[in-house]
Amino acid sequence: MGASLRDPYNIGRKLGQGQFSTTFLCTHKTSGIKYACKSIPKRKLLCREDYEDVWREIQIMHHLSEHPHVVRISGAYEDISCVHMVMELCEVGELFDRIVKKGHYSEREAAKLMKTIVRVVEACHSLGVMHRDLKPENFLLHNVEEDAPLKATDFGISVFYKPGLVPSLLNPKKRLTAHEVLCHPWIVDDRIAPDKPLDSAVLSRLKQFSATNKFKKMALRVIADRLSEEEIGGLKEFFKMIDTDNIDLKLNKCMLCGYFWQADIDNRGTIGYGEFLASTVHLNKLERGKFSVGTKQCRT
């Protein structure tokens, strides 16, 4: 790591700025290939452990460099002021920015992304590595195409581990392995996850519902069961569209992490039609207090 970065590379514009490092565009002088160079100022490496953390990050990236969905490291360099890591360039940016720009993903699109992400997790675990900082900001898009490959990056707090390191904290009955996730029908079968995105209005109502307390949820369930067909609007048809197996909405592991977990009032692991209505009927309408219950008026 003692070689000078400027011998083989021309340093270009700044690509990004982090808390501990700055990333620049760099071009190999001989081949003309463009790379990303992550430069860490030595003044921010305050003790021996900080240097060891940087060295471990370099080791881990080399360790994982053959995986198609991990940003490949080309080399590491050190000069009087910085430690530099030269890596594969993913100039399009972060998955997080793509999500914000796109606005929403269908469940099928989300399943494809999760498949890639969990494959990276499986590869890391099989090679004795814990990433420890998985988030959309740490997955980069390789090109501008809609189906651009995802590449995991930022192994700054990753560590090597041995199986059984913290057995008391992990209950295999409650925690799926990465391999088990990849074998789940939601990931394996493209037809299971619906291809239509959640309507933004429905998603907004789910968000509101998730913030209400248990008593109010039960009250909304009672009211929702008595709403007229006219007031329900298109929610019945929407429920049919996403309830493909006709036995209430099954809660898979991904849905448990979102608003549908809050809609499962009786904790059965599925969302019944009444629960769905309670969580998606317009809450502003409920708050105003007027509903048609059969031929009667009901106030909340």
pLDDT tens figures, 53-86: 999 999 999 999 889 999 999 999 999 999 999 9
Is 207 annotated to bind a ligand? Reply is no
Helical ranges in 79-199 per DSSP H = 95-102, 107-126, 178-182, 185-188
What is the pLDDT confidence band of residue 91, given thresholds at 50, 70 and 90?
confident
Q: Where are the domains of the chain?
A: 9-88, 93-188, 200-298
pTM for the structure as a whole: 0.63
Q: Evaluate if residue 267 carries a pLDDT over 60.
A: no
Q: How far apart are CA 86 and CA 261, in angstroms?
A: 43
Whats the size of the chain, residue-wise? 300
Per residue in 170-196, pLDDT (tens digit) is: 666 777 888 989 999 888 887 777 777
Amino acid making up residue 296: K
The 10s digit of each residue's pLDDT in 29-56 is 999 999 999 999 999 999 999 999 999 9
pLDDT of 8 strictly over 90? yes
Does residue 253 have a pLDDT over 50? Answer: no
Q: Which CATH architecture has domain 9-88?
A: 2-Layer Sandwich (3.30)
pLDDT band per the 50, 70, 90 thresholds, residue 252: very low
Q: Is 7 a catalytic residue?
A: no
H-type alpha helices, the chain: 48-63, 95-102, 107-126, 178-182, 185-188, 200-210, 214-225, 229-232, 235-242, 253-256, 259-263, 273-280, 283-288
The answer to whether 41 and 50 have CB atoms below 8 angstroms apart is: no
The SS3 assignment for 71 reads: coil
CA separation for the pair 267, 244 (Å, rounded): 21
The yes-or-no verdict on residue 228 having pLDDT over 90 is no
Strands 34-41 and 22-28: antiparallel
Q: Which of 50, 53, 79, 133 is the catalytic position?
A: 133
pLDDT classification of 99: cutoffs 50, 70, 90: confident
Per-residue confidence (pLDDT) for residue 93, from 0 to 100: 87
To the question of domain 93-188 being in CATH 1.10.510.10, the answer is yes
pLDDT digits (tens, 9 = 90+) for 107-133: 888 899 999 999 999 999 888 999 999
Q: How far is CA 62 from CA 12, 85, 92, 142, in A?
A: 24, 11, 23, 19
